Amino acid sequence: MESSTSYGNLLTTRDLKKHYLVGSVRNDVLRGIYLQINRGEFVGLKGPSGSGKSTLLYQLGLLDTPDEGEIIFDGVKTSLMDHHQRQVTRLTKMGFIFQNYALLPELSTLENVMLPGLSCGKDRSHVESRARQIIELVGLIGKMHDTPDHLSGGEQQRVSIARSIINQPTILFADEPCANLDTVSSKKVMDVLKHLNEHFGLTILMVSHDLSNFSYASRIIEVVDGLVVNRMK
């Protein structure tokens, strides 16, 4: 991977609001979020259950659409993007790590990692060579052809990390990346994330319950009841 050394504002939100209806009951999950994330930061997003941190992550990652407010990503207002532009942005500029790994069970480690690269239309041999390098980077060189059901939780999460960076994204969104992992696996995953941030300048926004994970972050944002209540270095 090449290191990204450009700094400055990458992601900004203004008065971001989102509500869900549970039956006829309105649940305001985000009630006006203002935040800014700079390039190269490792930002931890903390807060109690139901505070809206995962919902916020989904809005920022263009997996969902806010009701009100604005997200400006890499200088572009996401509200002006159509479905195709959002899809292309997710594919080329964003990486995602989910709590449940979200790997395709039918594909091997190598195929899972290669899929976003091939989907960009890149040359197959180039994508494969890069995927092999990244899999080596996350320590899974021996598991190249294993399908997810033959991998441990920690290994699956590292495959997920490898897949998320195949297209050299600008930002990596991690939603509770260690929630289902034991301490040793959690540490390995967090070490990989830290390595990506420090050595390659990858911007990371991580939601977590586990306070120990925030020791890896350069900044912590706390969300309570759908509002940012605290920004800590």
Partner 1 sequence: MLTAHRISASLAVRSLQHANRRTNFFIVLILVLLIINLLLLSSIIDNIDQATGDQIIDHQYGHMFLEPEESEEIFENPQSYVRTLRNIPGVIGVSPHFVVQTIVVADQKSSATEVHFIDPVYEETVTQKSRFIIDGNYLGTHDETGIILGSEKAGGPGTQFPRLSLGGVNVGDEVVMLFGNDKSQRFDVRGVFFTKLIDADFYIYANEAQMASIYGRDLSDLVNQIVVRIDPSLTSEQSVIDQMRSKGYDGNYFITRESQGFVLTETLFVIKIIILIVSLLVSSGSLFITMYINVFSRKKFYGVLQAIGVPYSIVILSTVYQSLFLVCSASILAVIILYFVLVPYFAAYPLDLPFAFVSLSIDPSSIAMSIFFFFLLAIISSLLPLWSLYKNGIINLIR
Report how far residue 121's alpha carbon sits from residue 144's, in angstroms, rounded to the nearest whole number.
Answer: 22
Segment contacting partner 1 by CB under 8 A, of 35-43, 101-109, 179-187, 194-202: 101-109
Question: Is 168 a residue that touches partner 1 (CB under 8 A)?
Answer: no
b/e map of 47-58 (b: 16 or more CB within 10 Å)?
Answer: beeebbbbbbbb
Segment contacting partner 1 by CB under 8 A, of 37-45, 110-118, 150-158, 198-206: 110-118
Taken in order 65, 66, 69, 73, the sign of the CA dihedral is: negative
Residue 26 Cβ vs partner 1, minimum distance, rounded to whole Å = 18
Instruction: Identify the residue among 104, 211, 229, 232 touching partner 1 (CB under 8 A).
Output: 104
Report how far residue 170's alpha carbon sits from residue 89's, in angstroms, rounded to the nearest whole number.
Answer: 10
Binding mask 18-47 for partner 1 (x = CB under 8 A): ------------------------------
- Residue 96 or 214: the one with the smaller Cβ distance to partner 1 is 96
Residue 219 Cβ vs partner 1, minimum distance, rounded to whole Å = 25
Nearest to 96, CA basis, from 165, 11, 180, 179:
165
The burial class, CB within 10 Å (0-12 / 13-18 / 19+), for 163 is buried
Helices (H), 139-204: 153-165, 183-200
Q: Which residues bind partner 1 (CB under 8 A)?
A: 58, 63-64, 83, 87-92, 94, 96, 98, 100, 102-107, 111, 115-116, 118-119, 121, 124, 147, 163-164
